[in-house]
Amino acid sequence: MTWQQDAFVHAEQEAPRESCGLLINYQNEDKYIPCKNLALHNDLQFLLDPLDWADTEDKYGKIHAVIHSHPIGTEHPSEADIISCKRSNKTWYIIGLKTKRWFKFKPTDKIETL
């Protein structure tokens, strides 16, 4: 399975909660690492477990991207997503579970909110 497939399966398993995970490179292969979503309203937002982040970094080194799902609505980032992306200084991917589309953005991208 590709990391995109792994991430999509995780998103399906977590629904109606938002799933979240990290993209790393291990032995020259991109790999999706599923993480826990600690948000109180985890159907509408996500808070990636900082322990999962730290463990992943310890084990695999550089975090290449942050991935989360939108079980409802579209793959388009929310205002909070755009702010958190800038804060994380990482590339982000959003999986639209309903739309089956992906949205990729970087902290430097100018994105119009809906």
Contact between 113 and 106 (Cβ < 8 Å): no
Place of tokens 């998103």: 11
Q: Shortest Cβ distance from residue 7 to Zn ion (Å)?
A: 14
Q: Which residues bind Zn ion (CB under 5 A)?
A: 78, 81
The backbone torsions φ and ψ at residue 84, rounded to the nearest 5 degrees and listed phi first, read -65, -35
Which of 39, 33, 40, 42 lies closest to 14, judged by CA?
42
Decide whether 56 or 84 has the Cβ nearer to Zn ion.
Answer: 84
Q: Shortest Cβ distance from residue 79 to Zn ion (Å)?
A: 10
Decide whether 36 or 60 has the Cβ nearer to Zn ion.
Answer: 36
Decide whether 33 or 95 has the Cβ nearer to Zn ion.
Answer: 95
